[in-house]
């Protein structure tokens, strides 16, 4: 057997020509021509081993007999656009591997809603710039707290990941987080600490860490190299040029995010975090009047358009969900909502994390206004409208039914405690009546 | 009813964003306002710097009988003099702004004070709700107009956010009549800051939207296409209850419904 197989392999290496298929391939009028031409389309090696491309098989003959080359892939786009986007995503970027690092750059991310913000990604990009400048075998380590929904750490430039998920880091816990960062400092002695200079906690953590370590940080840095840093001072009226310190708080768009490489995202661990009982005791978020929050910075917007007929129900649902109310231009022009509530080009450009559009088909001016929203949910009767195409979750239904169900769900969700107390009250009353 | 606590507000010289003239700093004014709400006339207002600065009269004009100035040169570090002033005094609450409007404006002063005095620091306070015994309950200002309640043991240092109550108007006459207690202190020159190069701020370049398309057709598409999501889920044939449940689950997952 072994003898035969070795003979087979020697035969395989011989280049054998098939004159008949070659002839069919040359003859465009042959009935088997298309089949033969398509088999050779993948990879054809010439007699010298060079890769050969057949220019004649590209394209197709159009309806009036002229050869057409479809470079944009338009014909297949209409049929299965979904598949095409998947293929586009699958192009693998080169993986950057760093083994045995001799230094660390720590990036502490805000991770609003459990995902990297664009600010975080810019800082990761800056960290990689600093690594490239230093010419050393340094890795970029992302430190993040709490639950993470991020799936693309590798594309954002995270070489190593320290993910701290204990209960004490949840919610508002700056002291516990700084204690963890202090342990990271002791264990890894990072070259630099990079923080986003943001109101989401980055500045607070950086200042606490710098005060603990007794180092002078730089705030509002926007041009950073390994040796010098330019930061804003005096309420952004001055540029201060100084040596780059070890702790930096960076402004938005301080560098470009990583785009062309993938990274390893290997986990790193911190042990022995000393936790003392915190002085600051979190009492939880306070319910604020959602409509008092400025529309431009509201986190969750329930927006109404032409598809709303029952306005009382809409307002009640917004109240039950705790959403800020928005409106499309039509709803405002028709007088159902005040002008200040208009979302879009001539209204407010909103930055909500979740935008729930009810009965809005999505004029381009409206879509511009919601360009920065993370999640868009659409309730609409028209499948083909632009809002449904833009939406992450689209519901094709009459708005009135869905809103009724939504407000019922919101009330059920918010009232289990109330219900319990009501049940207890009724029990007590029963007991009392029994006693009586 | 005002709780019986000692409150100190730290003030600095501000800068008008358009004209660049010296003014009452916005957040420091709010810190004085919050201090007045907590302690009334008993509020101590402290400035470390030039005692002849006319802006200090604007703070005094908010209804302060007196103002304490730790006299020092403008190139000196405010931290050591403030630490020596605050140390060993029966102070419960120190209020500052989040970031100064002049100088480095790094926002580190309250943190360094808290570290050196060993007090707790509360960042970005919107309001102080009340004091019970040796505990104080505060409202923190979070982004997007949210508020968080926090309880802390006294003494504390709190930085006051823009969301706090606006500073009251200042009156010129009472400002002039207010008494200034100028204390001479041993100040330390900020050496490392003297090595910095300080220039007028250059406008930051806007980030360009670079389209990395390989073909001309792709570039055309990127320039003209409407913003599209990455093809979300479409629910068509389910019942209204199921659809609403799917939306509600998404809202819960994003933690916008609490």
Chain A residues touching B199 at Cβ < 8 A: 238-239, 241
| Domain CATH code at residue B77 | 3.40.50.620
DSSP string across A411-431: HHHH-HHHHHHHHHHHHHHHH
Tally Cβ neighbours within 10 Å of residue B117: 18
Option in B104, B145, B152 nearest A294 (CB): B145
Class of domain A95-267: alpha beta
Question: What fold characterizes domain A290-414?
Answer: Rossmann fold (3.40.50)
Q: What is the DSSP letter of B166?
A: P
CA distance A237 to B15: 9
Q: Quick one: pLDDT at residue A80? A: 45
Q: Quick one: pLDDT at residue B203? A: 87
Option in A172, A297, A398 nearest B144 (CB): A297
Residue B204 lies in a domain: no
Give per-residue pLDDT as tens, A205-217: 999 999 999 889 9
Contacts of A306 (CB under 8 A, 6+ apart): A328, A330, A331, A334, A359, A360, A361
Give per-residue pLDDT as tens, A291-347: 888 888 888 999 999 888 889 999 999 988 888 999 999 999 999 999 989 998 888
Residue A204 has pLDDT above 80, yes or no: yes
Option in A240, A283, A376 nearest B196 (CB): A240
Residue B231 lies in a domain: no
In Å, how far is A112's CA from the nearest CA of chain B?
10
Chain B residues touching A236 at Cβ < 8 A: 201
Chain B residues touching A222 at Cβ < 8 A: 204
Give ipTM to 2 decimals.
0.86
Q: What is the largest CA-CA distance in chain A?
A: 108
Q: Which of A280, A374, A418 is nearest to B256 (CA)?
A: A374
Low-confidence spans in chain B with pLDDT less than 70:
1-2, 225-231
| pLDDT interval class at A417 (50, 70, 90) | low
**Annotated domain spans of chain A:** 16-72, 95-267, 290-414
Q: Which of A396, B119, A422 is nearest to A388 (CA)?
A: A396
CA distance B32 to A270: 42
Chain A residues touching B105 at Cβ < 8 A: 219-220, 232-235
Tell me whether the omega of the peptide bond preceding residue B155 falls within 30 degrees of 0, making it cis. Answer: yes
Q: What is the DSSP letter of B42?
A: G
Option in B122, B207, B240 nearest A401 (CB): B240
Q: Which of A73, A178, A217, A238 to mutate to test the interface with B (most CBs of B within 10 A)?
A: A238
Contacts of B2 (CB under 8 A, 6+ apart): B37, B38, B39, B40
Residue B61 lies in a domain: yes
Q: Which of B106, B159, B156, B112 is nearest to B134 (CA)?
A: B156
Give per-residue pLDDT as tens, A132-171: 888 788 899 999 888 888 888 888 888 889 888 888 888 7
CA distance B159 to B102: 16
Q: Quick one: pLDDT at residue A90? A: 58
Domain that holds residue B147: 7-194
Across-strand partners of B70?
Answer: B48, B183
Tokens 């005692």 correspond to B51
In Å, how far is A20's CA from the nearest CA of chain B?
38
> How many CB pairs (< 8 A) connect A and B?
241
Give per-residue pLDDT as tens, A15-25: 678 888 888 88
Whether A95-267 shares its CATH topology with A290-414 is answered yes
Q: What is the dihedral of CA A362, A366, A369, A371, to 10 degrees?
A: 20
Percent with pLDDT over 70 in chain B: 96
Give per-residue pLDDT as tens, A235-244: 888 899 998 9
Average of per-residue pLDDT values in chain A: 82
Q: Quick one: pLDDT at residue A230? A: 92
Percent with pLDDT over 70 in chain A: 86
Higher pLDDT, A330 or A113: A330
- Residue A399's Cα: distance from chain center in Å? 29
In Å, how far is A2's CA from the nearest CA of chain B?
50
DSSP string across B53-120: -THHHHHHTTT-SEEEEEE--TTEEHHHHHHHHHTTS---EEEEESS-SSTT--S-HHHHHHHHHT-E
Give per-residue pLDDT as tens, A244-291: 999 999 998 888 888 888 888 888 888 877 777 888 888 888 878 888
Residue B223 lies in a domain: no
Mean pLDDT of all residues in A83-89 = 48
SS3 for A74?
helix
CB contact under 8 A, A405 and B121: no
Residue B207 lies in a domain: no
| pLDDT interval class at A425 (50, 70, 90) | very low
Phi, psi dihedral angles at A286 (to 5 degrees): -95, 135
Q: Quick one: pLDDT at residue A292? A: 81
Contacts of A347 (CB under 8 A, 6+ apart): A329, A332, A339, A341, A369
Nearest residue in chain A measured CA to CA from B144: A297
| pLDDT interval class at A427 (50, 70, 90) | very low
Give per-residue pLDDT as tens, B126-157: 888 888 888 899 999 888 888 889 999 888 99
The crossing angle, in degrees rounded to 10, of helices B240-253 and A399-414 is: 50
Chain A residues touching B24 at Cβ < 8 A: none
Task: Say how many domains are in chain B.
Answer: 1
């Amino acid at each position: 057997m072994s003898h035969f197989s070795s003979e087979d392999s020697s035969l395989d290496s011989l280049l054998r020509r098939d004159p008949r298929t070659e002839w069919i391939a040359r003859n465009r009028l042959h009935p088997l021509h298309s089949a033969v031409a398509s088999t050779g389309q993948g990879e054809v090696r010439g007699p010298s081993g060079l890769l050969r491309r057949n220019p004649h098989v590209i394209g197709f003959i159009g309806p009036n007999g002229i050869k057409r080359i479809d470079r944009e892939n338009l014909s297949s786009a209409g049929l299965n656009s979904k598949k095409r986007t998947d293929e586009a995503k699958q192009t693998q970027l080169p993986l950057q591997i760093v083994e045995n690092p001799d230094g660390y750059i720590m990036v502490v991310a805000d991770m609003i809603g459990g995902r990297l913000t664009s600010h975080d990604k810019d800082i990761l990009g800056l960290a990689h710039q600093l690594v490239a400048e230093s010419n050393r075998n340094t890795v970029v380590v992302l430190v993040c707290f709490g639950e993470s929904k991020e799936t693309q750490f590798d594309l954002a430039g995270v070489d190593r990941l320290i993910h701290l998920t204990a209960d004490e880091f949840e919610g508002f816990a700056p002291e516990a987080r700084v204690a963890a960062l202090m342990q990271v400092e002791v264990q890894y002695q990072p070259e630099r600490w990079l923080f986003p200079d943001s109101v989401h906690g980055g500045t607070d953590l950086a200042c606490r860490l710098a005060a603990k370590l007794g180092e002078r940080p730089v705030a509002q840095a926007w041009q950073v190299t390994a040796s010098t840093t330019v930061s804003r001072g005096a309420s952004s009226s001055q540029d201060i040029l100084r040596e780059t310190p070890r702790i930096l708080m960076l402004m938005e768009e301080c560098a470009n995010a990583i785009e062309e490489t993938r990274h390893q995202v290997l986990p790193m661990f911190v042990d022995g975090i000393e936790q003392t009982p915190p002085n600051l005791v979190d009492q939880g978020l306070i319910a604020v009047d959602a409509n008092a929050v400025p529309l431009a910075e509201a986190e969750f917007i329930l927006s109404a358009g032409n598809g709303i007929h029952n306005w009382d129900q809409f307002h009640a649902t917004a109240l039950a969900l705790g959403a800020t109310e928005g409106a499309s231009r039509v709803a405002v022009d028709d007088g159902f909502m005040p002008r200040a509530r208009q979302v879009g080009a001539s209204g407010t450009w909103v930055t909500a994390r979740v935008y729930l559009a009810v009965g809005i088909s999505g004029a381009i001016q409206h879509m511009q206004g919601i360009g920065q929203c993370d999640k868009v949910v659409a309730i609409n009767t028209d499948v083909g409208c632009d809002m449904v195409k833009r939406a992450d979750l689209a519901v094709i239904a009459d708005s009135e039914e869905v809103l009724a169900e939504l407000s019922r769900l919101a009330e059920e969700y918010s009232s289990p405690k109330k219900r319990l107390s009501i049940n207890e009250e009724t029990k007590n009353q029963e007991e009392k009546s029994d006693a009586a | 009813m005002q709780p019986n606590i000692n409150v100190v507000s730290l003030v600095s010289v501000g800068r008008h964003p358009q004209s660049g003239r010296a003014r009452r700093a916005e957040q420091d004014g709010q810190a004085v306002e919050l201090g007045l709400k907590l302690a009334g006339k008993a509020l101590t207002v402290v400035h470390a710097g030039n005692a002849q600065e006319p802006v200090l009269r604007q703070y005094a004009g908010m209804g302060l009988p007196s103002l304490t100035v730790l006299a020092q040169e403008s190139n000196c570090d405010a931290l050591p003099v403030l630490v020596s002033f605050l140390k060993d005094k029966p102070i419960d609450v120190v209020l500052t702004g989040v970031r100064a409007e002049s100088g480095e404006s790094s926002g580190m002063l309250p943190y360094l004070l808290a570290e050196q005095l060993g007090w707790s620091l509360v960042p970005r306070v919107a309001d102080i709700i009340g004091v019970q015994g040796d505990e104080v309950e505060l409202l923190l200002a979070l982004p997007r107009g949210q508020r968080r309640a926090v309880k802390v043991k006294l003494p504390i240092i709190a930085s006051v956010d823009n969301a706090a109550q606006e500073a009251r108007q200042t009156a010129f006459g009472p400002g002039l009549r207010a008494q200034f207690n100028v204390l001479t202190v041993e100040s330390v020159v900020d050496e490392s800051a003297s090595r910095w190069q300080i220039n007028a701020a250059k406008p930051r370049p806007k980030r360009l939207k670079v389209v990395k398309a390989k073909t001309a057709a792709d570039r055309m598409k990127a320039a003209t296409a409407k913003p599209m999501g990455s093809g979300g889920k479409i629910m068509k044939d389910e019942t209204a209850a199921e659809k609403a449940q799917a939306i509600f689950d998404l809202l819960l997952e994003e933690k916008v419904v609490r």
